[in-house]
Homo-oligomer: A and B are copies of this chain.
Amino acid sequence: MPGAKYNVIYDSLKEKIEEAVYAYANMLPSEHQLVEEYDCSRNTIRRAIRQLADAGYVQSIHGKGVQIIYQKQEQAEFLLSGIESLKEAVARNKQEYTTKVICFAELTVDERMEQRTSFPVGTEIYYLQRVRYIEGEALIIDHNYFRRDVVKDLTPEIAEKSVYEYMEQVLGETIVTTKRKLTVEKMTELDTKYLDMKGYNCLAVVSSHTFNADGVLFEYTQSRHRPDRFVFFDQAQRIK
């Protein structure tokens, strides 16, 4: 819920950290102070702080306070984070992009495909190949597999815009969880045909399984990125 109290507080604190009102290496006000400032319970403040920690903005130190560990990224060429469509990622990075659909097919999952996609044999799917141009450069080739009973009536025209937007705004579907695997793979003929590989002989490959609000695995995607413009950020806390 975007309008929830803890999210409002999270956004407020995040902005203050990004604008260095609360600066790197300093402490956040204590939970008690924040409770007074935002007029809420301690649990609500703690929830907002937990989200800040998950996002890599702060870390809590028992008995001391909450330390700010956020530092501004310099030149985030292309930043992939959380679950978001390419359209969203590009918008966040204030860039332009276009998509060319080079393959659009309706298939039924066989045993070989079940291995990769985790769709049961017999599932009816759309299979797409799409080339993504960012700022005019061909940077990514996507191989998408969508369940036809979830992503209904998909067309090449929709696939040239945003499948996620179509799902959420037209079909009323909600995307919830994505599990991703990141590897580096040698390039294929298809890669070299569509991407200017700039001397690299391999690509950054993001393979993802995505679940909707019903807990149904509805998408398997392999995104093959030209290495020079690919960046992936991650943040982890050690279990105490």
Q: Which residues of A contact B (CB under 8 A)?
A: 1-2, 25, 53-54, 56, 59, 61-62, 64, 67, 69, 71, 82-84, 118, 174-186, 199-204, 211, 213-215, 217, 227, 230-240
Contacts and interface: CB of A to CB of B under 8 A. Distances in A.
A106 to B, nearest CB: 24
A164 to B, nearest CB: 9
A175 B235 CA distance: 13
A234 B174 CA distance: 20
Copies of this chain, whole number: 2
Given A211-B59, A236-B82, A199 B179 contact: no
B215 A67 contact: yes
Contacts of A118: 71
A33 to B, nearest CB: 18
A234 B200 contact: no
The 7 tightest CB contacts between A and B, nearest first, are A67-B215, A184-B227, A182-B232, A83-B238, A180-B234, A59-B177, A83-B236
B235 A178 contact: yes
Contacts of A237: 83, 176-177
A236 B185 contact: no
